[in-house]
Amino acid sequence: MIETFTVSRDDGIYEAFPDLALTRSGRLVCVFLECTHHADRSYTRVMLTTSDDRGRTWSPKRPLTEPLRGDPADHPWWNCPRVSVLGDGRLVAVCDRPLGRREEGRPDQSNWLWLSADDAATWDGPHETPVQGIVPDRLIELRRGEHAGRWVLSAHAVVSTRRGPLWTQRCWLSDDAGVTWSGPHTVAAVEGLKLCEGSMLELPGGELVCFLRENSFIGLGAYKAVSRDGGRTWGEPVEFPLPACHRPVAGMLASGKVVITHRLMQGGKGWAGWWTQNTFAALTNVESCLAAKRNGAQTRIMPLDFDRSPESDTGYTGWIQFPDGEIYVVNYIMDDAPKAHIRGYALRESDFAIAPESA
């Protein structure tokens, strides 16, 4: 029984690409992008809203960044914000800032950080990072083994090679809380595939798994790659049984199971508008995350929402789990509104299966 809530809706502006964090005090913090339209970034601004009642009601939205305006070919624009919680309790937000042409003295796909030590009341930033690419993953801080305390930040870019453009997911590592970084370290790059939008998860054994979107728009499923040295080197990407997967967002439940929220992008001719109509949530396990082949992994895939708008646009998500087990997801959707807005969903592991321990 999935409950739905309005996180933010402003019929005068397009709201999209949300992410979600849960602070130590129990506050939910949702960041998202305001823009003219998914396909028009002549105006962009990162916004945030908070909830102190488990996502049932939300504060008025307020800006995290300054607005950026102008032709995206000539001016920088904000893209996909993310937010997470560090081991010391601080919030860290990250957003990429692309530019159609190279900005003087800076990369054309830069990524920036903001930090908050007071549950999103105030923020320190933006701080420039060396990360080059778009659609960053959440910044994660490793908690296990010899690499505990390491920050990992990832994004994707189309890299020029002798054989032509290559879609590449890369990560940068910091062992001193962002003062210095090493990288880029290649997470995944396979000729003939367009791997991107990676979502990293630290597993109980200290391994890192990165789930990836394949962007050929023909309905290919997810891929995954595994690192056993804290993100410095990665194994060969293998398929994972999430069909037609876009923008996976992976996390660990208290039970030890893994949830991945994602868009289903079926490929084909599509439909009017954006033809991204479905948002799903999948349940899997650690063994599947580490499986060497697609048929060694199991998933249980549940519909989360369907966008009824003829100009449908949906499927970028963020989620957390409360200490009592409730899962809360944020997603953007058109549906019955004139513009995209942010919707919340409350569910539990038992919604995936009546007997989740056997899933």
Q: Model confidence at 274, in pLDDT bands (50, 70, 90)?
A: low
**The model's pTM:** 0.96
Q: How far apart are CA 213 and CA 198, in angstroms?
A: 7
* DSSP state string for 252-268: E-TTS-EEEEEEE---S
Nearest partner of 297 among 308, 283, 310, 287, judged by Cα: 287
Q: Where are the domains of the chain?
A: 3-349
Instruction: Say which residues have a Cβ less than 8 Å from residue 179's Cβ, sequence separation at least 6.
Output: none
- Determine the topology of domain 3-349 in CATH: Neuraminidase (2.120.10)
The H or E element that residue 126 is part of is strand 124-132
Please tell me the predicted confidence (pLDDT) of residue 355.
64
Q: What's the number of CA atoms in the CB half-sphere (13 Å) around residue 239?
A: 10
Please tell me the predicted confidence (pLDDT) of residue 103.
61
**Gyration radius of the chain's alpha carbons:** 19
* Chain length of the chain: 359
* Over residues 223-250, mean pLDDT: 98
For residue 155, list its beta bridge partners. 170
Q: 356 pLDDT exceeds 60?
A: no
Question: Range with the lowest mean pLDDT among 161-165, 208-212, 283-287?
Answer: 161-165
Q: How far apart are CA 217 and CA 194, in angstroms?
A: 9
Q: Strands, DSSP E only, in 133-265?
A: 140-141, 151-161, 164-174, 182-188, 195-202, 208-214, 222-227, 238-240, 245-252, 258-264
β-strand 341-347 against 327-333: which pairing, if any?
Answer: antiparallel
20 near 320, Cβ under 8 Å? yes
Q: How far apart are CA 126 and CA 105, in angstroms?
A: 17
**How close are the terminal C-alpha atoms of the chain, in Å?**
18
Please tell me the predicted confidence (pLDDT) of residue 357.
54
**pLDDT digits 0-9 by tens, 300-355:** 999 999 999 999 999 999 999 999 999 999 999 999 999 999 999 999 999 998 76
Single-letter code of the amino acid located at 21: A
Instruction: Say which residues have a Cβ less than 8 Å from residue 29's Cβ, sequence separation at least 6.
Output: 20, 21, 22, 23, 48, 49, 50, 83, 91, 119, 120
Please tell me the predicted confidence (pLDDT) of residue 190.
98
For residue 260, list its beta bridge partners. 250, 282
The H or E element that residue 306 is part of is strand 300-306
* Over residues 256-283, mean pLDDT: 89
Query: How far from chain centre, in Å, is Cα 261?
Result: 9
Q: Model confidence at 359, in pLDDT bands (50, 70, 90)?
A: very low
Q: 266 pLDDT exceeds 80?
A: yes
Task: Provide the mean pLDDT of the chain.
Answer: 95
For residue 28, list its beta bridge partners. 22, 51
* Over residues 14-38, mean pLDDT: 98
* Over residues 176-204, mean pLDDT: 98
- For residues 175-197, b (16+ Cβ closer than 10 Å) or e, as one string? eeebeebebbbebbbbeebbbbb
**pLDDT digits 0-9 by tens, 111-141:** 999 999 999 999 999 999 999 999 999 999 9
Q: 275 pLDDT exceeds 80?
A: no
Q: 100 pLDDT exceeds 90?
A: no
Please tell me the predicted confidence (pLDDT) of residue 28.
99
Instruction: Say which residues have a Cβ less than 8 Å from residue 58's Cβ, sequence separation at least 6.
Output: 5, 6, 7, 8, 30, 49, 50, 51, 344
Q: 273 pLDDT exceeds 70?
A: no
* Over residues 209-225, mean pLDDT: 97
Q: How far apart are CA 331 and CA 329, in angstroms?
A: 7
The H or E element that residue 289 is part of is helix 286-290
Nearest partner of 218 among 240, 246, 244, judged by Cα: 244
* Over residues 156-166, mean pLDDT: 93
| The CA-based dihedral angle spanning residues 232, 106, 215, 328, taken in that order and rounded to the nearest 10 degrees | 80
Q: Model confidence at 175, in pLDDT bands (50, 70, 90)?
A: very high
C-alpha dihedral sign at 230, 236, 242, 248:
positive
Q: Model confidence at 287, in pLDDT bands (50, 70, 90)?
A: very high
